[in-house]
Structure 1
Amino acid sequence: MVAFHASALDGVARNEALPTALLLRLLAFDGGGYGPPRQAVERAGLPEQAVAAILAHPNPRTRVGFAMSARAEPAQRARLVDDPSPKVRAALAYGPEWPAPRTTVAPLPDDVCARLLDDPDPAVREALLDSPYLTPSFVASLAAHRDPAARLRAARAWRTLPADARAALLADPDAPVRRAAALAECHRDARLTATLLRDPESAAEALRRGLLHRADAERYLAERTHLTALAGNPSLPADLVERLAADPDEAVRLAVSVRPELGETRRMSIDFTVRAHAGGDVEWVRDGLADPGVLRRAATSAHPLLRRTAALSPHLPPDLLRLLARTEDPSVENLLGIHHPDVPEEVLMRVYARLGSSFSAWMAETHPRFPSEGLARRYADHPDGTYRRLAVRDPAATPALIERLSHDPEVWTRQAAAADPRLPLPRLREALHVPELASSAGTNPALPEEDMTAVLSRAAVPA
């Protein structure tokens, strides 16, 4: 028989049943200079022996992978704070780059972040200040830091800062820090807004959010400069809002149409167009995703962008969830399927079929409401292979059905069956040699230890 396909090793590296001895053997693998498979490094629940092996691994690629693992505990990752490689320390400082939706990444301890902020390598300091995983307490402490870049990061988290920190940042000796602080505060200070409008770097943002003098608003309207930003300004006088609602620029009219003070009749009387796949990003709704009043206004609106933004909320009450589920807007359904834990099953199934490929597989595995029972009866013979794959999720599916599905014409269905522990052992072993099935077969928890060992040996992983 032909040798195991190379991807079988990646599958074994992800296998939840991989014995610790084999995991340690895999972690010591150099991989031709690339280090061990990242699937082994980024596993959840690594034993201490494995963590120690990763931290001491001679290949910095391996340590970088662990530093950015969303599955590793912060205390484990924090042990790389003194790593000799600045690339590893920068990876640690930033944290996981692409965590899966609904994944919560726990931040590093504040004292570890403080050490990274004092790192001698500027790339490490920059990575920390760019990280989305800093605690509010650490961000607040940056307001008094000696480095202007740190104070700038604090200014961008304005709402979390105490009053004295805000006052200090507004008077900061560094111009970019003062600008960021002023932009955060100008929604209630017309004097700050007027100052920001004189700065080309801040004018557009100040027009969008600042407390405006009427004369400034009229000047920009007459000059037709930054009109889309102006159209969303909360302090814009009502008569100027009406002028912009009839502006010849479609983007300007759309910006007016999502203003929070508009009644539903006036909102929908504006001539605007929303792209079919435009996401939900209406700021006042996004800021109120936990506010029942805001959610009700947005979810009951006929405006697609308001509904789509409301669909981002996991806090929708049952009646609004049902209402949005009936909107017949694929974008609303997709967002509900991703973000809401109680979305109706029929919506989940439509989103599953629409999104396809690996994203649908992730949703089927992780969504708390995604069905499992009865799927074999409903979908094993469905004409669409995307649905036949669901039959594998049914706890009542028989080994014979799983084996049949492992020969399915649709590759995603074959892969799902190859990873299922009910797959008969002869077919499982056979799948290790099939290029498109080898990785899935390697992850199968029913794969005997002797076969896992054989995969490692055939891949030249030293014993």
Structure 2
Amino acid sequence: MSTPEQIWADADLPARRLAGLALNPSVPESVLLRLLSDAPLAARMVLCRDRPLPDTVVDAVIQHPDTRTRSFFARNPHVDPAQRVRLVDDPAWFVRAHLAGGPRVAAPARPRPLPDEAVVHMISTYEDELLGGPFYQQISAGLRRSMATHPVANVRHWGVGEWRSLAPDTRAALLADADAGVREAAQRHARCEDPTWVESTLPDRPCHARTDLLLHCPLTRAVVEGVLARPVGEEDKAMIAVNPTLPPDTVVLLAADPDPEVRARIAQRTDLGPAERRTLVTDPDPDVRLAVSVHPALSEEERARIDYQVPTDHFFVHNPAPEAPRDPRTVRRDALSCHPLLRRRAAGDHLLPPDLVARLASDDDLGVRVLLAQNHPDAPASLLLRSFLEYTGPERSHLTTRPNFPTGGLAVFADHEDSEVRALAARAPDAEPTTVARLTQDPDPAVRAAASRHPNLPQRRLAALLDDEELAHHAAANAALPPDVIRRLLRTGGRQAGPQE
């Protein structure tokens, strides 16, 4: 069965024009229904997967006889999950698999959760092979928190996976659960809290299992001493350095380890003693000094005396809001800190109050400004635009999806040397037609594509682009496409009249 990429690669020019019509915001429901009924697979794929749909069209998709067409809708990130979940009992496993796999969304976006009752139904009735990692991202936070005590045994089995965050009485109930599968799963997790079992099962070679045990599980004195004396991997000591069960004397020992990475890990421990902190703040390695400089036990005066340098080439990206909000007093303390890393930590808080938003929006640190822009729902328009212009790292484009990203005045960037900035001009509703037409011939394909959809594109140029192999589907998606052209493309199956066809 062809992949979506292959379906698009195999689509001819008429099919791509119809795919553009499927995305055109100005076409009426009747056109969408006609495309759903008569258009080739590539156009139906785009229609069902890549845009929101009116209820009448959704009804028709759910009843469509073609399995692939329904499966595309199952992965549509633009529609309400309650619409997608109407396919929960689709007769084709292929459709059910795509529903469980969820929409393909570009990072940092995540698919919206499915209704809780649908998730419970899927856990109870779907084959395990359909419920892989992507499915978990579609489970609401509320359901995840309640899974361990859910009345359905299959759901409780999933809830056992949250073992480390479960209350003691909930763990005890799972260990005594009436369902054998739930009990066995709980027992497997419980034994990971037994240092003797950890010692008995610890692999003697570098691997994921050894890493997990050394990082997170309680360690016997024998395991700790074995790592210190005979590490089997280069990262062994660095891994136990962050283990919460590390004995205090070992913390002291590792604070003086010759490996800077080990010292940097130890420097982040909240149980680091005053003597060790005093030593590490003057460590010869800059990474160690930077790590200890944000230690919560230090005062602002002590931080200011440390010779640290904050890197500016880090990735400043969107982070999902934690299920448990940070303490507002801690957030405020970080936001007012002299340390850029602490201010960056505060800037990523989605619940930052207005006075701190205003303060950090003019911070002199690039990371603070961009993290605020990437994460806060009320980040001001001026900050969003400034961040986009100054930050060129991963998830830069996410800034343009933030609620307050401006559109006015963007046409001034039409000649910018950075192609991503030039593309902003195609978002400007006041862009001059001649400017838009010029951008359809830009060296960068993303700029050309965006300009081809701009409603200010001159009609003569728009008509010419319908014959362009690369840009035809973007031109057909242009909201300014004349109704008579739309009707003709529908009537001819996407073919243009003329010798080129």
Structure 2 counterpart of 1:24, one-letter code = L
Matched, 1:370 2:412: no
Distance 1:258 1:323 in 2: 28
Distance 1:179 1:10 in 2: 51
Contact 1:30 1:59 in 2 (8 A): no
Deviations 1:338-374, CA, capped at 9 Å, x for gaps: 32334463564343565489x655532x222323323
Distance 1:115 1:387, change over 3 A: closer
Count, aligned residues: 439
Structure 2 counterpart of 1:349, one-letter code = R
Equivalent in the alignment of 2:265: 255
Matched, 1:399 2:401: no
Matched, 1:64 2:102: no
Structure 1 counterpart of 2:365, one-letter code = T
Query: How big is the shift at 1:20?
Result: 0.9
Distance 1:37 1:280, change over 3 A: same
Name which of 353, 364, 384 aligns with 1:326.
Answer: 364
Contact 1:379 1:388 in 2 (8 A): yes
Deviations 1:118-157, CA, capped at 9 Å, x for gaps: 3263433x3489422223564434556787x754521223
Equivalent in the alignment of 1:231: 241
SS in 1 for 2:360: helix
Query: How big is the shift at 1:208?
Result: 2.6
Distance 1:340 1:453 in 2: 44
Query: How big is the shift at 1:51?
Result: 1.3
Distance 2:466 2:270 in 1: 57
Name which of 168, 173, 176 aligns with 2:173.
Answer: 168
Contact 1:90 1:128 in 2 (8 A): no
Distance 1:267 1:443 in 2: 60
Query: How big is the shift at 1:455?
Result: 3.7
Query: How big is the shift at 1:23?
Result: 0.6
Equivalent in the alignment of 1:157: 162
Distance 1:307 1:39, change over 3 A: farther
Structure 1 counterpart of 2:264, one-letter code = L
Distance 1:182 1:425, change over 3 A: farther
- Counterparts of 1:36-435 in structure 2 under 5 Å? 36-98=43-105, 101=108, 105-110=112-117, 112-119=118-125, 121-124=127-130, 126-127=131-132, 130-136=135-141, 138-139=143-144, 140-141=146-147, 151-158=156-163, 164-170=169-175, 175-181=184-190, 183=192, 186=193, 192-200=194-202, 204-210=211-217, 217-224=224-231, 226-261=236-271, 268-270=281-283, 271=285, 273=287, 290-295=326-331, 300=337, 302=339, 311-317=347-353, 318-319=355-356, 322=360, 325-329=363-367, 335-343=371-379, 345=382, 348-352=385-389, 354-355=391-392, 363-364=399-400, 366-376=401-411, 378-435=412-469
Distance 2:142 2:398 in 1: 34
Deviations 1:175-205, CA, capped at 9 Å, x for gaps: 554233555xx4xxxxx34443433376643
Q: CA RMSD in A?
A: 4.2
Query: How big is the shift at 1:105?
Result: 0.5
SS in 2 for 1:134: coil
Distance 2:246 2:393 in 1: 44
Q: TM-score, normalised on structure 2?
A: 0.72
Deviates more, 1:315-324 or 1:420-429: 315-324
Distance 1:370 1:210, change over 3 A: same
Distance 1:11 1:409 in 2: 22
Query: How big is the shift at 1:83?
Result: 0.9
Contact 2:76 2:103 in 1 (8 A): yes
Query: How big is the shift at 1:432?
Result: 2.0
Deviates more, 1:73-82 or 1:336-345: 336-345
Deviates more, 1:126-135 or 1:56-65: 126-135
Contact 2:199 2:220 in 1 (8 A): no
Q: TM-score, normalised on structure 1?
A: 0.77
Structure 1 counterpart of 2:458, one-letter code = P
Distance 2:18 2:375 in 1: 33
Contact 2:102 2:134 in 1 (8 A): no
Structure 2 counterpart of 1:55, one-letter code = I
Deviates more, 1:171-180 or 1:112-121: 171-180
Distance 1:114 1:392, change over 3 A: closer
Equivalent in the alignment of 2:27: 18
Equivalent in the alignment of 2:306: none
Distance 1:256 1:323 in 2: 33
Quick one: higher RCO (CA 8 Å, sep 6+), 1 or 2? 1
Distance 1:65 1:44, change over 3 A: same
Query: How big is the shift at 1:412?
Result: 3.3
Distance 1:419 1:19 in 2: 18
Structure 1 counterpart of 2:421, one-letter code = Y
Deviations 1:310-332, CA, capped at 9 Å, x for gaps: 55432345547628953345xx6
Deviations 1:285-329, CA, capped at 9 Å, x for gaps: 97876333454566648586x666655432345547628953345
Deviates more, 1:53-62 or 1:314-323: 314-323
Distance 1:72 1:19, change over 3 A: same
SS in 1 for 2:201: coil
- Structure 2's unaligned 5+ residue stretches are 1-11, 204-208, 291-310, 496-501
Distance 1:157 1:70, change over 3 A: farther
Distance 1:393 1:323, change over 3 A: closer
Contact 2:148 2:170 in 1 (8 A): no
Query: How big is the shift at 1:249?
Result: 3.8
Contact 2:423 2:447 in 1 (8 A): yes
SS in 2 for 1:198: helix
Deviations 1:393-445, CA, capped at 9 Å, x for gaps: 33433334333443444443333322121222222222222233323222221
Equivalent in the alignment of 2:488: 454
Structure 1 counterpart of 2:388, one-letter code = V
Q: Percent identity?
A: 32
Distance 1:298 1:253 in 2: 24
Distance 1:256 1:94, change over 3 A: same
SS in 2 for 1:156: helix
Contact 1:151 1:177 in 2 (8 A): no
Query: How big is the shift at 1:55?
Result: 1.4
Structure 1 counterpart of 2:127, one-letter code = D
SS in 2 for 1:16: coil
- Structure 1's unaligned 5+ residue stretches are 187-191
